[in-house]
Structure 1
Amino acid sequence: MAIGIDKLDFYAPNFFVSMDDLAVARDTDPNKFKIGIGQSKMAVNPVSQDIISMGVNAAQDILSEDDKENIDMVVVATESGIDHSKAAAIEIHDLLQIQPFARCIEMKEACYSATAAIQLGKDFLSNRPGKKVLVIASDIARYGLNSGGEPTQGAGAIAILLSHNPRIMELNDDSLSYTTNVYDFWRPTSERYPVVDGKLSKDAYIESFNTAWNEYAKRTGHEVKDFESFCFHVPFTKMGEKAFKTILNENVEDSIKNRLMEAYQDSVLLNRDVGNVYTGSLYLSLISLLENHEFNAGEKVCLFSYGSGAVCEIFSGSIVSGYEAELNKEKHSDMLDSREQLSVEEYETFFTRFDNQEFDFERELKGDPYSKVYLSNIEDHIRTYKTEQ
């Protein structure tokens, strides 16, 4: 029985900063951000939107009462965890009012863990007909003000409902993982922000993709031409493009190269305006691809997932007939278009207030129709959330 993605949605905070403005404030050529790394806007989260509230906001519109009764597992993938012990999945399970006999866990491996969660969910469903798994990828990418990684920040959450007989994408049984020990990006528990070796990070990403792709092609017999499109983890949109071009060599016909590169550009439209969402970046890219590229039923998408440290995975999915009806392109366009633009000074204030957990509800809750849940208080390390009616 086919298992795969039945429903898919995302949430981005209601504020952003323009990369043009950020470049000017940092005395940098705007083209370095807009062309060099391929980013236009960067989502900025208020204190009242953390990984839990964003995860709930991403999932709330796609879950029916039937879904909530049949979800047997909730997995939250994040590298922005808010507790060393308690899983964010427990809070999300409660706020979404999912039936109580569900397994709830949190997973971590840099930006890769959402893919691990999906594969876990797929295996979990293999002998549980009629049941469903909710995967949430929710993250806040923060490198610090005036840091080298600042233009690759962002925030957001993606919700993925896995089921039998999925209506969007069937997950194929062809995944391949590759692990290598490398210190390209990591965040010790004593540090507020990550430690990054920029050049090594890019090299490790591309090396992992090439090694995994060659082994994947060897084991499966798949060639580049067998896929309608490729979808990458994109901490910034030029990263996936650089890796992709390494396999679009002289053995690939120009017509196929052109088709695949056009599809790649479709796949990063949302990422370009949201920024880095860590564990959710690949799946934000998948939403962008599905909403902006035309597919025929049965066509295959190759997905590359990467988490620094490093673990990567290549796998594929087959498009299901009628998938378009399950997408929310109009909602997503409106959500991004209606965001409030912050000046760089305002963005820096938001950034500092988040570090200090200083709420400003009058400012933060203004005009966000897509946020039904927000963090309202932290007292004695207990987080309290409120639901907008």
Structure 2
Amino acid sequence: MKIGIDKIGFYTPHLYLDMNKLAVSRDIDPGKFTIGIGQEKMAVPPVTQDPVTLAANAAYEILDEADKEQIDFVIFGTESGIDSSKSAAVYVHELLGINPNARAIEVKQACYGATAAIQMAKGHIALNPESKVLVLGSDIARYGLNTSGEATQGAGAVALVICADPGIMALEDKSAYMTADVMDFWRPVYSDKAFVNGKLSNEQYIAFFADVWEQFKQKSGLDLKDFEAITFHLPYTKMGKKALKPVLEDAPEDVQERLKANYQISTGYNRNVGNIYTGSLYLSLLSLLEQKEDLKPGTRIGLFSYGSGAVGEFFTGILQSNYRDYLKTENHNKMFASRKEVTVPEYEAIFEETLPTNGSTVKLDTDADPAVICLAGISENMRQYVNKLK
């Protein structure tokens, strides 16, 4: 039985900041952002968007009524959860009107969370072939104004329907993974901003990829020549390139050129959104699928997932015969085209507009946010969400 990705949805806020202008305002050479780390635009979430609404909007565009009835498991991967007890998945389950006879949980391991959710979903489908699982990877990356990590912020979500006989990609059984206790990135419960040791994080990312790739080759008998493309978790778009480069050195020239070219295509959406943590790898995959028009069914795609702290995994999928029929390329093109640029002062003001933490009531202006699903406010310490079409 084939199990894998049947549908993929994506959402990012309607506001963005030009990285050239951020660099100038910070008295930094713009090339450090646009060339050095490979970022062009950064999504800026208004206060009416949080990880729940981002995920719900991403899933809204792909779910039909049959999906909502068949989904019996919602797994939400995030590292910017809004509650220490109640899962973000429960909110999305309600906002989208999914079958009540379903499980709904939240999983956490930095940027690896959505990959853990997919592996869990595969096991569930193997036992329940008629079921579907909704996997969500949704985050808002916050490091703070004028910090070393500011240029690698972002916001967005990817939603995936996992089921038997998938339309887009069948996930293969072999995978390689590892865990090590590394303090390269963390966010204590008392902080709404992350802490990062950038140099260590880069080193660990590269080391983890090298390790799981060697593991995978031994387990599977496959090599670089067997892949049309390898997609990566991208905290910034140059990161995957750094990990891939040493692995390519012994490959034939045609294989090197193919993988490098397809890697570049896979970074397209990420360059214009920024870091979305748990959804980042799957945004890379989506960019490849939607932007490479001659990507043939039956080809094998590699996926490298890395979550600081740290857990890494390499796994693979085979593109299905009519996978393009399941993509929402036009929707995503329209979403990118309709975004509004904000100035640096506007971005700073939006960044500083946070929700109260003292139990006070607040009502937010959802009319200014074009998204279907928004955060409408807080009352009695409870977030109030609205689906404008329900």
Q: Give the TM-score normalised by the residue count of structure 2.
A: 0.96
Map of 2:269 onto structure 1: 270
- Relative to structure 1, the CA distance from residue 367 to residue 311 in structure 2 (aligned partners, 3 Å threshold; closer, same or farther) is closer
Amino acid at match of 2:17: V
Map of 1:280 onto structure 2: 279
8 Å contact kept, 1:46–1:354: no
Q: Secondary structure at the match of 1:130?
A: coil
CA distance in 1, matches of 2:35, 2:88: 36
Q: Secondary structure at the match of 2:110?
A: coil
8 Å contact kept, 1:19–1:151: yes
CA distance in 2, matches of 1:309, 1:114: 15
Map of 2:31 onto structure 1: 31
Give how far 1:386 is off. 1.3
CA distance in 2, matches of 1:270, 1:321: 24
Q: Secondary structure at the match of 1:204?
A: helix
Q: Does 1:68 align with 2:72?
A: no
Q: Does 1:344 align with 2:332?
A: no
CA distance in 1, matches of 2:369, 2:382: 27
Give how far 1:367 is off. 6.4
Map of 1:169 onto structure 2: 169
8 Å contact kept, 1:353–1:359: no
CA distance in 2, matches of 1:193, 1:151: 14
Give how far 1:190 is off. 2.2
CA distance in 1, matches of 2:300, 2:130: 25
Superposition map of 1:1-389 within 5 A = 1-249=1-249, 251-293=250-292, 294-354=294-354, 365-366=367-368, 368=370, 371-389=371-389
- Relative to structure 1, the CA distance from residue 225 to residue 365 in structure 2 (aligned partners, 3 Å threshold; closer, same or farther) is farther
Give how far 1:193 is off. 1.4
Amino acid at match of 2:30: P
More deviation, 292-301/164-173: 292-301
- Relative to structure 1, the CA distance from residue 274 to residue 160 in structure 2 (aligned partners, 3 Å threshold; closer, same or farther) is same
Q: Secondary structure at the match of 1:157?
A: strand
CA distance in 2, matches of 1:275, 1:199: 19
8 Å contact kept, 1:24–1:30: yes
8 Å contact kept, 2:8–2:158: yes
Q: For residues 338-367 of structure 1, what are the alpha-carbon distances to aligned partners after superposition, in whole Å with 9 as ceiling and x for unaligned?
A: 1110000000000000365897955x6436
Q: Secondary structure at the match of 1:159?
A: strand
Q: Secondary structure at the match of 1:85?
A: coil
CA distance in 1, matches of 2:326, 2:199: 39
8 Å contact kept, 2:78–2:108: yes
CA distance in 2, matches of 1:268, 1:327: 17
Amino acid at match of 1:18: D
CA distance in 2, matches of 1:361, 1:336: 24
Amino acid at match of 2:34: K
Amino acid at match of 1:8: I
CA distance in 2, matches of 1:384, 1:367: 15
CA distance in 2, matches of 1:379, 1:233: 36
CA distance in 1, matches of 2:298, 2:355: 46
Give how far 1:329 is off. 1.2
- Relative to structure 1, the CA distance from residue 223 to residue 359 in structure 2 (aligned partners, 3 Å threshold; closer, same or farther) is farther
Give how far 1:39 is off. 0.1
Give how far 1:127 is off. 1.7
Amino acid at match of 1:267: S
Q: For residues 160-202 of structure 1, what are the alpha-carbon distances to aligned partners after superposition, in whole Å with 9 as ceiling and x for unaligned?
A: 0011100000000011111111110011112231111110010
Q: Secondary structure at the match of 1:286?
A: helix
Amino acid at match of 1:212: V
Q: Please, which runs of 5 or more residues in structure 2 have no aligned partner?
A: none
User: Would you say how many aligned residue pairs link Structure 1 and Structure 2?
Assistant: 385
CA distance in 2, matches of 1:240, 1:270: 14
CA distance in 1, matches of 2:258, 2:356: 47
Q: Secondary structure at the match of 2:347?
A: helix
Q: For residues 120-171 of structure 1, what are the alpha-carbon distances to aligned partners after superposition, in whole Å with 9 as ceiling and x for unaligned?
A: 0011000212110000111000000000000000000110001110000000
- The ranges of structure 1 where at least 4 consecutive aligned residues each deviate by more than 3 angstroms after the TM superposition are 355-362, 364-367
Q: Secondary structure at the match of 1:139?
A: strand
